[in-house]
Amino acid sequence: MKIGFIGLGIMGKPMVRNLLKAGHEVVAYDIIRTNVEDVAGSGAKPADSAKGVAEQCKLIITMLPNGHHVTSVVMEEDGVLAGAKKGSTLVDMSSIAPLVSQALGKACMEKGIKMLDAPVSGGEPKAVDGTLSIMVGGDEAVFNEVYDILKVMGGSVVLCGDLGAGNTTKLANQVIVALNIAAVSEAFTLSTRTGVDPVKVFQAIRGGLAGSSVMEAKIPMIMDRNFNPGFKVDLHIKDLSNALETAHSVGAPLPFTAMAMEILQNLRADGYGQQDHSAIVKYYEKLTGSEIRK
């Protein structure tokens, strides 16, 4: 199948490569030309604009940082809707506010374009191995049409409800991930300050109720002092901002999320915004003057 793909960052590049490996033809675009050249080297066909992608493909996937980026790419003069043919499908896999997804869906519907919101979880490692968790919102018939394509990139693909439900689910996911990293950081700071080997603590508790995918992924990185981004602090700030904004609009209190946001903002102020969100531990290390390492 011929698929358009717009947004070739940390996540988009490996997702495109998995589509190519599965035998699909991909027409790719990004505002950073070297990103386009990278995936072209893997077999993707380069395009000069979002409109150019949509003119060539009936299925267009976007993977962009935030809602205003998606809105620009879809709505601008040289954007998706300017080139898409009636009956085309837009699958936005960016993590954005649900209300933005719904507004874009309305604009697409007026042009005869179908839309799903399908944000992902799993970071770069799962994007590379094609095992992302994909949370989808939109019409079930459209979901069924693209399910096999999404399964190329994801280990799980779940329809969560109407348009916007995918991003609502992703916000819930990001709240849990941020608070889990903070909890793990607190716990291992405690054990380190009391002189217990963090490797032994990890081995002892990982198989019990405290074990989690977050701990499995992040504690080895922390102990190795590896903060290369699988998912950046700055992007988690964006997600929690969307979560808090959405929560305020529906009257859902998120006090712990607000606390996690302040930790992340502190990390950004200290210059760690481009590091992996496991750098949350550095907030606790700064307070205690200690480091969690092997």
**High-pLDDT (> 70) share of the chain, %:** 100
pLDDT at 33 over 90: yes
Task: Assess whether 170 carries a catalytic annotation.
Answer: yes
Quick one: pLDDT at residue 6?
98
Quick one: pLDDT at residue 230?
85
Quick one: pLDDT at residue 193?
96
> What is the mean predicted confidence (pLDDT) over 94-123?
96
Question: How many angstroms separate the CA atoms of 154 and 63, rounded?
Answer: 14
> What is the mean predicted confidence (pLDDT) over 41-69?
97
> What is the mean predicted confidence (pLDDT) over 255-283?
98
pLDDT at 212 over 90: yes
**High-pLDDT (> 90) share of the chain, %:** 98
> What is the mean predicted confidence (pLDDT) over 243-260?
96
> What structural domains does the chain harbor?
2-161 (3.40.50.720), 168-288 (1.10.1040.10)
- Residue 231, Cα to own-chain centre: how many angstroms? 8
Of 101, 64, 106, 108, residue with least CA distance to 82: 108
Q: What length is written for the chain?
A: 294
When pLDDT is cut at 50, 70 and 90, the band that residue 36 belongs to is very high
Quick one: pLDDT at residue 89?
98
For 32, other C-beta atoms within 10 Å of its C-beta total 10
When pLDDT is cut at 50, 70 and 90, the band that residue 255 belongs to is very high
Quick one: pLDDT at residue 115?
98
Check 51, 114, 126, 170 and give the catalytic one.
Answer: 170
pLDDT at 228 over 90: yes
pLDDT at 244 over 90: yes
pLDDT at 30 over 90: yes
